[in-house]
Amino acid sequence: MQRKPLVAIVDDNESIRETTKDLLESAGLDVATFASAEDFLGSAPLPDLSCAVADMRMSGMNGLALHEHLLAAGTPVPIILMTAYPDERARARALETGVVAYLTKPFTDAELLGCIGAAVRERSR
């Protein structure tokens, strides 16, 4: 029996975490939520993750710094960054470093699920 993809949500906004979790679970995905990048790094099941969806702006380590930390540690988890504060330079840098997608809030459920599908396919290669 094939495992369901496991997606981590890393966002300091509890409402966003819970809403996103509900969406992903309704789409048949397993979900783990984290209130910060530091919480994620301290307890996420990294080898089992299909991808992570992280907020670009969080207190402490932001989403891009989390992505760069994972790359430097040799743990290339596909990352989807989301932000309510569009910044073209940050977007370009994120995409240059290999994030799967850089979504600007508000985005549609279909956009997020499409990006997660791409990340899951990337991880399974």
Give residue 1's pLDDT. Answer: 58
CA pair distance 17, 53, nearest whole angstrom: 10
* CA 40 to each of CA 53, 54, 85: distance values in angstroms, whole numbers, following the listed order: 11, 10, 22
CA pair distance 72, 70, nearest whole angstrom: 5
Residues of the chain with pLDDT under 50: none
For 36-71, the pLDDT digits (tens) are 999 999 998 888 999 999 999 999 999 999 999 999
Residue 1, domain member (yes or no): no
- Residue range(s) defining the domain that contains residue 12: 6-123
Q: What is the pTM (predicted TM-score) of this model?
A: 0.95
Give the chain's domain count: 1
Give residue 20's pLDDT. Answer: 98
Residue 73, domain member (yes or no): yes
Give residue 23's pLDDT. Answer: 98
Across 61-125, the runs of DSSP E, i.e. the strands, are 79-83, 101-104
Residue 62, domain member (yes or no): yes
Residue 47, domain member (yes or no): yes
